[in-house]
Structure 1
Amino acid sequence: MESITINIRGIDIHFNRYNKGAKERIVFLHGFTGSTHTWDEVISFLPNTFDMLTIDLIGHGETSKPKDSARYAVEEQIADLHSLFQQLQWSNFTLVGYSMGGRLALSYANQYPIKGLILESSSPGLTDKKERLNRKQSDEQLADRILKEGLTSFVDFWEGIPLFHSQRQLTLEKQQLIRQERLAGSEIGLANSLRGFGTGVQPSYWNNLQEIVTPTFLITGELDEKFSKLAKKMEKYLPNVAHKEIRDVGHAIHVENPELFATIVEDIILKEDV
């Protein structure tokens, strides 16, 4: 594994690369409060025939955390990714995104051709104006709270939200690793991520779904009813789509059952080559 940092469009973007030069290419984008470490276990179960990038998104991990929240906007992040891929001379890859990273992956696929799109517990955004405004306001309040009360207080709160209740079934050791990853974040990075790229401020892509011809695979957890319902709705609009609901897991399938998640990703990649 190579740990690399490159200056892209005025910010430092950090990523890890595995099996450089291997035949298949995959890019992994983590969720809010995550980092490249989100994917460590999944990567360990994938074959060395895959050339893989795990990227720290803006405001997270070892990537820059600008003070201007406008720099976190989805259009900026799409441009960052595209510039990175151009610099690495990467094309014809499969893009895997979890939650917030899935929103970015979908946004990227709406603009640029890729080989395949794997969305884990992801959403195309919100269409209803009132719903968007409410979400924007709640994200602003949460951003203020992070800056005012600090990271530890925020992580205590974040671990308790219903979305992550199923993670209480994990071993204490694994729960501690997840907590450490969240605590390694930065107040300004997380606050600006919410302000610049929260679900309430990003464009809605619902009306664009029928134009995304890239083979798209939706993965959701049975215990995550909200995102399973969203995936079933997305299936009606995406022209080239499959949906897999995984039993006994919640929002973060790759954390709760990394081996199974890796197997699904591997199967998807190998089927794309048939």
Structure 2
Amino acid sequence: MESTTVNVRGIDIHFNRYNNGAKERIVFLHGFTGSRHSWDEVITFLPKTFDILTIDLIGHGETSKPMISSRYAVEEQIADLQALFQQLQWSNFTLVGYSMGGRLALPYASQYPVKKLILESSSPGLIDKEERLNRKQSDEQLADRILNEGLTSFVDFWEGIPLFHSQRQLTLEKKQHIRQERLAGSEIGLANSLRGFSTGVQPSYWDKLEEIVTPTFLITGELDEKFSKLAKEMKKYLPKAAHKEIMDVGHAIHVENPELFATIVEDIILKEDVR
């Protein structure tokens, strides 16, 4: 494994690379409060024939955390990814995005070619203007809370939201590992991520789904009713899409059952066609 920082469009992007030069290429994009390490356990179950990039997104991990929230906008992040891939001479790869990372992977794939697109518990954004405004306001308040009360207080709150209730079944060791990853974040990085790239701020991509001809695989957890419902709706519009609902897990399938998640990703990359 190589751990590298590359300067792209004025910011430093940090990523890990595994199995450099292997046949199949795959990129993983983590969720909010995560980092490239979110995928560490999944990678242990993937074959050495995969050349893998796990990227710290802007405001997270060891990647830059600009003070201006507009630098976190989805269009900026798409341009960052494309510049990084050009610098690395990466093409013909499978793109995997979880939650916030999926909200970036989807619009990226609507602009640039990828071999396959895997979206775990993700959304194309909000169509309704009032709903978007309400979400933007609540995310602004959450950003203020992070800056005013600090990271530990925010992580205590974040761990308790209903989206992550199914993670209460995890071992104490794994729960502590997730907590440490969240606590390794930065107040300004997370606050600006919310202000510049929250679900309420980003454009809705529902009207772009019909244009995405990339084979797309939607993976959701049975216990995450909201995102399972979203995936079923997305599948109606995506020209080449399949949806897998995984039993006994919630929002973060790769955390709650990393071995199964890795097996699904491997099957998609090596043999699965959209039916």
Q: TM-score when scaled to structure 2? A: 0.99
Residue 86 (structure 1) shift: 0.2
Q: Which residue of 2 aligns with 1:83?
A: 83
Are 1:71 and 2:67 an aligned pair? no
Q: Which residue of 2 aligns with 1:98?
A: 98
Q: Which residue of 1 aligns with 2:40?
A: 40
Residue 87 (structure 1) shift: 0.3
Q: Distance in 2 between matches of 1:107 and 1:69?
A: 19
Q: Distance in 1 between matches of 2:211 and 2:7?
A: 32
Residue 251 (structure 1) shift: 0.1
Q: Which residue of 2 aligns with 1:6?
A: 6
Q: Distance in 2 between matches of 1:227 and 1:40?
A: 24
Matched residues, number: 274
* Deviations 1:84-120 (CA, angstroms, capped at 9, x unpaired): 0000000000000000000000010011011000000
Flag structure 1 segments of 5+ consecutive residues without an equivalent: none
Please tell me the root mean square deviation across aligned C-alpha atoms, in Å: 1.0
Q: Distance in 1 between matches of 2:191 and 2:110?
A: 26
Q: Distance in 1 between matches of 2:74 and 2:63?
A: 16
Q: Distance in 1 between matches of 2:105 and 2:207?
A: 16
Q: Residue 16 of structure 1: SS of its match in structure 2?
A: strand
Structure-to-structure mapping, 1:1-274, within 5 angstroms:
1-271=1-271
Q: Distance in 1 between matches of 2:108 and 2:162?
A: 29
Q: Residue 17 of structure 2: SS of its match in structure 1?
A: strand
* Deviations 1:56-89 (CA, angstroms, capped at 9, x unpaired): 0000000000000000000000000000000000
2:61 maps to a residue whose letter is G
Q: Distance in 2 between matches of 1:272 and 1:49?
A: 17
1:161 maps to a residue whose letter is I
1:74 maps to a residue whose letter is V
Flag structure 2 segments of 5+ consecutive residues without an equivalent: none
Identity of aligned residues (%): 88
Q: Residue 61 of structure 2: SS of its match in structure 1?
A: coil
1:110 maps to a residue whose letter is S
Residue 272 (structure 1) shift: 5.5
* Deviations 1:5-54 (CA, angstroms, capped at 9, x unpaired): 00000000000000000000000000000001100000000000000000
Q: Residue 103 of structure 1: SS of its match in structure 2?
A: helix
Q: Residue 237 of structure 2: SS of its match in structure 1?
A: coil
1:105 maps to a residue whose letter is A
Residue 148 (structure 1) shift: 0.1
Q: Residue 230 of structure 1: SS of its match in structure 2?
A: helix
1:226 maps to a residue whose letter is K
Q: Residue 31 of structure 1: SS of its match in structure 2?
A: coil
Residue 271 (structure 1) shift: 1.4
Q: Residue 236 of structure 1: SS of its match in structure 2?
A: helix
Q: Distance in 1 between matches of 2:186 and 2:49?
A: 35
* Deviations 1:217-263 (CA, angstroms, capped at 9, x unpaired): 00000000000000000010000000000000000000000000000
Q: Distance in 2 between matches of 1:92 and 1:119?
A: 17
